[in-house]
Amino acid sequence: MLSSGSPLFHQRRIPRGRATAVTAMLGALVLSASLFACTVPPSDPGSPPTTVSPLPDPPSEFSVLTYNVAGLPQEVSKENPKKHLPLISPLLNAYDVVLTQEDFDWWQSAAAALDFTNYHTRLRAEATHPYRTDRHPGPAAVGINPAARPLLVGDGIGVLSRFPLTAETHHAWSKCYGDAFTGAGDCLAMKGFRVVTMTLGDGREVDVYSLHAEAGSSDRDQALQVLDFEELSRFIRSRGADRAIILGGDTNLHVDDGYPELNTGLVDSVIWEEFLASTGLTEVCAELACDRPGSIDKFAYRSNGTVNLFATGIEFPAERFTASTGESLSDHTPVVATFRWEIPAG
């Protein structure tokens, strides 16, 4: 989640001159969080439009964007979320379904004084998708004891859609590693996945997953990445083998050879390949031989007996998500997959 030269900023590079002050600020927030009860944040999650367009009949195509929007507090981010999230908002309308990570809609009372509490509303402000996931329900609802970890924020996961969404489920990873001073800071958030049931034009259903896995590359991080994808696999299999699925998000798995960190490359590839094999999912990038197979932001999918899904395209529209000054709107590249869906013959 969080990361630079210090353990806290292992992946997100923050100038060393700011690192001490930022770490101190986070430490103060962690301490303050332990003194306040968890409360539902008083933010508006972004009101959806009241006009809903009719859905197309099959066969039809739709697009899905997955995007880690770098919505961490400005005080700990090398990005500029205060400026960039409002710019991202209208760009989301080019896609039928949007999966977001680091889009936080729950936080401890200690964070209430930060402008960070407005980020989620700004991200959704100009989105026209009529269906969207709710605010995170808090740690008790996902089985987390906030006294047992330095918890500051929710899961940062959201879904926006032009197709109806029902049966929203939140799952937090059972374990994490890292606080404001160690690891990649994963225990500061309730990382995990959300799943919703999306209904296509004629009532056919697809389960849509948005996920954010353990960051970092230490031995402890690696063990937890294995555990994360085992948990996700068990959850998917517990819902039955005949459910169509689209899964996307920030896997934090660097499967490309030669990535300059320990516990990446082949070891991350094994985690991902075993997950795909255990769930019957097909990775979109691999199937379409995309030009960025090492991207940690991934898509996978499968059909079922009532709806056939076909991946017809994948792109990484980095230029579209760029400010007029030329800077990227996030430290992640957006990924867009296009799917065709049909009713099986017979």
Q: Rounded to an integer, what distance in angstroms lies between the CA atom of residue 127 and that of residue 89? A: 6
Distance CA 211, CA 194 (A): 7
* 47 is a domain residue: no
Instruction: Let me know if 144 is exposed, middle or buried by CB neighbors in 10 A (0-12, 13-18, 19+).
Output: buried
Domain assignment present for residue 2? The answer is no
Find the domain containing 214 and state its range: 7-37+57-342
Decide if 286 is inside a domain: yes
E strand or H helix at 156: none
Dihedral sign (CA 33, 173, 287, 295): positive
The answer to whether residue 244 is domain-embedded is yes
In a domain, 50, yes or no: no
Q: How far apart are CA 342 and CA 97, in angstroms?
A: 18
pLDDT (tens, 9 = 90+) of the chain, 346 residues, equals: 444 333 333 343 333 333 333 444 455 455 444 434 444 443 445 566 666 777 777 779 999 999 999 999 998 888 999 999 999 999 999 999 999 999 999 999 988 899 999 999 999 999 999 999 999 999 999 999 988 999 999 999 999 999 999 999 999 999 999 998 888 999 999 999 999 999 998 889 999 999 999 998 888 999 999 999 999 999 999 999 999 999 999 999 998 876 556 556 688 999 999 999 999 999 999 999 999 999 999 999 999 999 999 999 999 999 999 999 999 999 999 999 999 999 998 7
The total number of residues shown for the chain amounts to 346
Which tokens hold the place of 48? Answer: 């959806």
DSSP characters over 204-254:
-EEEEEEEE-----SHHHHHHHHHHHHHHHHHHHHT-SS--EEEEEE----
Count: domains in the chain: 1
Residue 127 in any domain: the answer is: yes
Q: What are phi and psi of 85, to 5 degrees?
A: -60, -40
CA angle 42-44-45, nearest 5°?
120
Element (H, E) at 169: strand 165-172
Q: What CATH number is associated with residue 245?
A: 3.60.10.10
The reply to whether 220 falls in a domain is: yes
Task: Report residue 251 CA to chain centroid gap.
Answer: 8
163 lies in a domain? yes
